Amino acid sequence: MVMDKSLKIGDQIEVEIGPIANGGHFISRHNGQVVFVRHAITGEKAIVKITSVSSKLAHGDAVEILSESTDRIKPICNYAIPGGCGGCDFQHINMSAQQKFKLEVIRDQFMRIAKMEVDPEMVSVEPKNGLGWRTRFDFAISENGKAGLYAPKTKKVVEIDRCAIAVKEINESNLFNEEWGGTDRVRVSVSSSNQVNISRGKMTVSGPKRIRELVDKNVYDISPQSFWQSHKEAPKILSDLAISFMKLKQGDVVCDLYGGVGLFTMPVADKVGSKGHVHMIELSNHAIRDASKIFKKYKNVTIHKGLVDKKLSQLNNIDAILLDPPRTGAGRSTIDKIVSKSPKKIVYISCDPASLARDSRFLENSGYFLDKINVIDLFPMTHHVESIVRFVPKKKN
């Protein structure tokens, strides 16, 4: 064991594993220094190999478990090991505990950042074993020309021959047998009808050039470059939750911010009817091109290309606002613009607990009250988690 108090990369130390942190690491301490640990679980004792060191903290992998948690299971994938693939960081934790830790992170981030107590409800998603759900990947290409995924916090490509969380169509394709020299990334997308598209940049290598997604009766014809939810059940689950949270009526005017190709715009347009209207705002050129075609015949939908702040400032008489921003969140400026429109309901979908908590604090300080929060386990076997919250105006005394 290392006796020197200053940690160095490669050192091995014995620690007790504490609570989970946002980002999937578990917190431990060694001689007063914080060490973020992967491949461990709260309550365990472990030998941790240090992988990076900064002035304030260190990161490490649990390479030997001295006392196991009852929540520990054997990873199903040979690549889910210290120094291995960074795609899954929770394969060593049973599904029930994974969800418990994700709820803990949400509560902790809201308390730390927003100074708010929340009691989120977890929404479970099929398949319950947390495997075979992911329909979209950007695979990195190794020096040998093989597809793989990066090791955590590195540019080292771990070559793989299958992926436990991928849908079967990806594992049954020839993707992992091919040599992909001359490129650093290959994108694979599997549609709701199980068609497989493999592309390099804008060029389709195999499969249909367009991807046809079906969510209930709604059809979305999109390019492989446009964003679409990666969990095969996510589009329907999130659409249903968004509609349920918004409680729309005929004639409502709704803004769909960061609207992508219009996943939520379509069911919202159906709900508000011909007397209502949906304004969808999106910056991505690929998404805008797809959305413009998808909603070409919709008279109650207007597509706005540009920054959310700028485009939202041009709109008035808005009843409800739905936003699904990138991981960085909406931010203070956008939240201020949203609040200035005085919507009766704000529904916020987020894939990052910290940015959601920050923006929730902004909304809470601007006259809105968080009255509902759900957490959806759309990324099983990983630390990632999706949340949906609803804000309504605070009642005036």
Positions annotated as catalytic residues are 351
SS (H, E, C) the chain: CCCCCCCCCCCEEEEECCCECCCCCEEEEECCEEEEEECCCCCCEEEEEEEEECCCEEEEEEEEEEECCCCECCCCCCCCCCCCCCCCCCCCECHHHHHHHHHHHHHHHHHHHHCCCCCCEEECCCCCCCCCCECEEEEEECCCCCEEEECCCCCCEEECCCCCCECHHHHHCCCCCCCCCCCCEEEEEECCCCCEEEEECCEEEECCCCEEEEECCEEEEECCCCCCCCECCHHHHHHHHHHHHHCCCCCCEEEEECCCCCCCHHHHHHHHCCCCEEEEEECCHHHHHHHHHHCCCCCCEEEEECCHHHHHCCCCCCCEEEECCCCCCCCHHHHHHHHHCCCCEEEEEECCHHHHHHHHHHHHCCCEEEEEEEEECCCCCCCCCEEEEEEEECCCC
